[in-house]
Every structure is written in structure tokens, then in C-alpha cells.
């Protein structure tokens, strides 16, 4: 019943409340994830070894489990659906604000808009990667170091916070899961709805009233229900997340290559093609994703 309740709540929030409104409240729940940062400084962490491995990670050849985890970590950092989500949200903001125009129509606004996008992207990626690093570090020092290497439930995962929160660790963990879950379901389901809706030329957007974008919201609801149904097939949620991350990591490489080609094409980008330094870093990231995927398949086969 709890699963169905959260599913219905998530769909109702997506359909009847503009995403930009309720996201301002839900984001505060995700602050509980910083408990992992605090916990890392409350336990014994071999910082020298950890930082050395962060800069120069140990290489274990083409071992399947090792390369799979590398692809999974990269897949959660550079997920293909994020490209479509951010682009759709930027386009929707232009449509919602009557005073705004697309940069192709009004290039004079480019410096301010690109500065805002750059700040949002850099700060968001910095915060998310910092939290992700401390989640891995804290879990390694509390769970893995004590032989708990096969985490199958959220309850087991929450034990990593016990050195800091004690018996309240599960409440902190639940707040983080609920907050980030309700924040990201619209991203995951919404990306599918945006992609299908734009392909079919429907009216799309999470700021629209339900009756103005009925097909878009129907697709979004169907995607949410499809994800909800996985809870009833007794699929290990931790393994499901790992598999999804690996798939994202494998798909990210060709999507990144396509994005790099498009952003260098003047017929597509006009005067807003990527500067040289972003091209260099973009292709380095693309090649790194390709190399990780190749290493993973080499270990599998």
C-alpha cells in the first residue's frame, strides 16, 4: 500500500502542480544526503589511502565486476536522459516567460543565459559528485570494511549512517530516498514523455494544465506506473539500480559523441558552437566513456 500511495502521490504532483513549484520544497529533503559527509568525519577513514586511490585508482585489468562498477559510476554521473531533460526544461522556461526568446531569435541575451546555465550546471555537478563521493566513501568504511558487501535492501544501505545518526539513521535515509525519488521521478518519466511528445508533436511541458497536455501527461503517468510495477516482480532494487546505471553508462558514449558532433555544427548551433576548450574536454569525456564500455565488454566476453 505504501508503494501504491507514493506512486499515486508522485503522479498527482507531476500532473496537477507545476514542477518548478513543488521542487522548491522537495529539494530540502535531499539535504539529508549530506549526513554521509558528516558521517565520514565521525568514523575512521584512511584518508591517505582513499585520496591516493581517488587520484590514481587501482587498475584490475578486465575483471567484469570492476569494469562494470566503473561503467555504473560513470552512468550515474553522465546519464543520457539528462541531456534531453535539461534541454527540454530550458526550452520550456523560454515558452513560459513571455519576455524571453530563444537565443537564435535574440542572440543579445546569450551572455546572461549561458552564464546562468554554466553556474547551474557547475554548482549542481559539484554538489552531486561531492555527495556521491562521500556516500561511496562512508559506505566503504562502514559496510564494506566490516564484510557487508552484498547490500540487497534499503535497510541495509541505511546502516552506513548509524555511526552519525544512531537509531535515526533510517529516518535520515528515508528522507533522502523520498526527497530525491519524488524529485527524480519527473526527470526519468518526464524525459520519456518529452521525447515521445516532441516526436509526435504533442503539446509538452510540466508547467501545462492537464487538459492542455493530456497525451503528454498520459505518457508520463504510464512511464511512472511501469517503474512502479517493478516493485511487484520481486526484483532486487539495489541490483536494478546497478543494472540501470550500467545501461546508462553504455548508452552515454554514443549519445555524447552525437552531442559533440552537433554542438560543433554551425548549421545546427549557428554562432553558439562550442569553444575549443569545451570541445577538448567533451571529447576526452566521450573517449573515457567509450574506453570504460569497451573494457566492460572485454571483461564480459
pTM over 0.75: yes
Please give the average per-residue pLDDT across 163-176, as a whole number: 83
Instruction: Report residue 62's pLDDT band, with 50, 70 and 90 as the boundaries.
Output: low
d(CA 88, CA 202): 13
pLDDT single digits (tens) 98-153: 666 666 677 777 788 888 888 888 888 888 889 889 988 999 889 888 888 777 77
- Of the candidates 223, 120, 127, 117, the one whose C-alpha atom is nearest the C-alpha of residue 180 is 127
pLDDT at 32: 83
pLDDT at 58: 77
Per-chain mean pLDDT for the chain: 83
Instruction: Report residue 159's pLDDT band, with 50, 70 and 90 as the boundaries.
Output: confident
Q: What percent of the chain has pLDDT over 70?
A: 93
For every residue of the chain, DSSP letters joined together read -HHHHHHHHHHHHHHHS-HHHHHHHHTTGGGGGGHHHHHHTTS---HHHHHHHHHSPPP-TT-HHHHHHHHHHHHHHS-HHHHHHHHHHHHHHHHH-TT---TTT-GGGHHHHHHHHHHHHHHHHHHHHHHHHHHHHHHHHHTGGGT-----SHHHHHGGGHHHHGGGHHHHHHHHHHHHHHHHHHHHHHHHHHHHHHHTT----TTS-GGGSHHHHHHHHHHHHHHHHGGGTT--HHHHHHHHHHHHHHHHHHHHHHHHHHHT-HHHHTT-PPPHHHHHHHHHHHHHHHHHHHHHHHHH-
Instruction: Report residue 44's pLDDT band, with 50, 70 and 90 as the boundaries.
Output: confident
Top-ranked range on mean pLDDT: pick from 88-102, 229-243, 258-272: 258-272
Domain ranges of the chain: 2-300
Please give the average per-residue pLDDT across 261-281, as a whole number: 89
Please give the average per-residue pLDDT across 6-15, as a whole number: 82
Contacts of 37 (CB under 8 A, 6+ apart): 130, 131, 134
d(CA 6, CA 186): 13
Contacts of 280 (CB under 8 A, 6+ apart): none
Please give the average per-residue pLDDT across 15-27, as a whole number: 78
pLDDT(4) > 90: no
pLDDT at 185: 79
Can you state the angle between helices 80-96 and 237-263, rounded to 10 degrees? 70
Of the listed ranges 7-21, 66-80, 120-134, 199-213, the one predicted with least confidence: 7-21
Amino acid at each position: 500500500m505504501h508503494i501504491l500511495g507514493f506512486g499515486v502521490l508522485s503522479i498527482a504532483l507531476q500532473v496537477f502542480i507545476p514542477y518548478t513549484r513543488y521542487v522548491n520544497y522537495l529539494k530540502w529533503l535531499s539535504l539529508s544526503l549530506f549526513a554521509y559527509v558528516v558521517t565520514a568525519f565521525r568514523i575512521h577513514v584512511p584518508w591517505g589511502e582513499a585520496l591516493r586511490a581517488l587520484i590514481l585508482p587501482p587498475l584490475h585489468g578486465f575483471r567484469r565486476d570492476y569494469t562494470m562498477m566503473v561503467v555504473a559510476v560513470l552512468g550515474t554521473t553522465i546519464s543520457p536522459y539528462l541531456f534531453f531533460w535539461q534541454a527540454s526544461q530550458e526550452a520550456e522556461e523560454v515558452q513560459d516567460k513571455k519576455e524571453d526568446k530563444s537565443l537564435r531569435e535574440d542572440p543579445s541575451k546569450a551572455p546572461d543565459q549561458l552564464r546562468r546555465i554554466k553556474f547551474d550546471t557547475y554548482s549542481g555537478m559539484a554538489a552531486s559528485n561531492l555527495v556521491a563521493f562521500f556516500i561511496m566513501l562512508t559506505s566503504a568504511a562502514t559496510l564494506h570494511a566490516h564484510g557487508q558487501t552484498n547490500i540487497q535492501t534499503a535497510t541495509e544501505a541505511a546502516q552506513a549512517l548509524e555511526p552519525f545518526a544512531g537509531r535515526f539513521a533510517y529516518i535520515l535515509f528515508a528522507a533522502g530516498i523520498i526527497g530525491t525519488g519524488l524529485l527524480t521521478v519527473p526527470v526519468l518519466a518526464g524525459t520519456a514523455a518529452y521525447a515521445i511528445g516532441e516526436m509526435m508533436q504533442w503539446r509538452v511541458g510540466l508547467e501545462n494544465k492537464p487538459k492542455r497536455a493530456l497525451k503528454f501527461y498520459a505518457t508520463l503517468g504510464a512511464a511512472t506506473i511501469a517503474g512502479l510495477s517493478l516493485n511487484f516482480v520481486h526484483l532486487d532494487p539495489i541490483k536494478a539500480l546497478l543494472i540501470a546505471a550500467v545501461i546508462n553508462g553504455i548508452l552515454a558514449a554514443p549519445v555524447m559523441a552525437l552531442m559533440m558532433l552537433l554542438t560543433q555544427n554551425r548549421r545546427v548551433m549557428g554562432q553558439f558552437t562550442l569553444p575549443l576548450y569545451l570541445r577538448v574536454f567533451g571529447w576526452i569525456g566521450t573517449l573515457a566513456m567509450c574506453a570504460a564500455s569497451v573494457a566492460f565488454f572485454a571483461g564480459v566476453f
